[in-house]
C-alpha cells in the first residue's frame, strides 16, 4: 500500500482487455478496465437504455451502435492498453 492508503496502479493486460471486450463489449467493460470511464459509461448507457426498447427499432439501433463501437475497439485495444500502461509508469 502506498502512503495515501491506495494500492499502487497496475499495468493493464491486452489479453484481459480483449476477453472483456468479447464478453461484455457492448457494456464497455474493456474500456472501464483500461481507464476510459467516460466512453465506457456511454457504451453501458446506450446498451442499458436499449434493453427495454428491443421490440422497437430504437432498441435495435442502440445495440447496433454499441456493438459496432465494441467491434471497432478490437482494433484500438492495444493502443488504449499502451496509453494506460504509460500512465501507470509515470504515476
Instruction: Give the pLDDT of residue 5.
Output: 64
Burial class of residue 67 in the structure, from the number of CB atoms within 10 Å of its CB (0-12 exposed, 13-18 middle, 19+ buried): middle
For the chain, domain boundaries = 14-90
Instruction: Give the pLDDT of residue 1.
Output: 46
Q: What is the mean pLDDT of each run of 10 residues along the chain (91 residues)?
A: 63 95 95 95 95 85 92 96 87 63
Instruction: Give the pLDDT of residue 87.
Output: 85
pTM: 0.84
Instruction: Give the pLDDT of residue 4.
Output: 59
Instruction: Give the pLDDT of residue 59.
Output: 86
Give, for 76, the enclosing helix (H) or strand (E). Answer: helix 57-90
Amino acid at each position: 500500500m502506498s502512503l495515501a492508503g491506495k494500492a499502487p496502479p497496475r499495468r493493464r493486460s491486452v489479453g484481459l482487455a480483449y476477453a472483456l471486450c468479447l464478453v461484455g463489449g457492448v457494456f464497455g467493460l474493456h474500456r472501464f478496465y483500461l481507464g476510459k470511464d467516460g466512453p465506457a459509461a456511454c457504451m453501458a448507457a446506450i446498451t442499458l437504455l436499449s434493453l427495454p426498447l428491443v421490440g422497437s427499432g430504437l432498441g435495435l439501433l442502440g445495440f447496433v451502435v454499441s456493438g459496432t463501437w465494441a467491434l471497432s475497439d478490437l482494433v484500438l485495444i492495444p493502443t488504449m492498453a499502451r496509453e494506460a500502461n504509460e500512465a501507470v509508469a509515470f504515476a
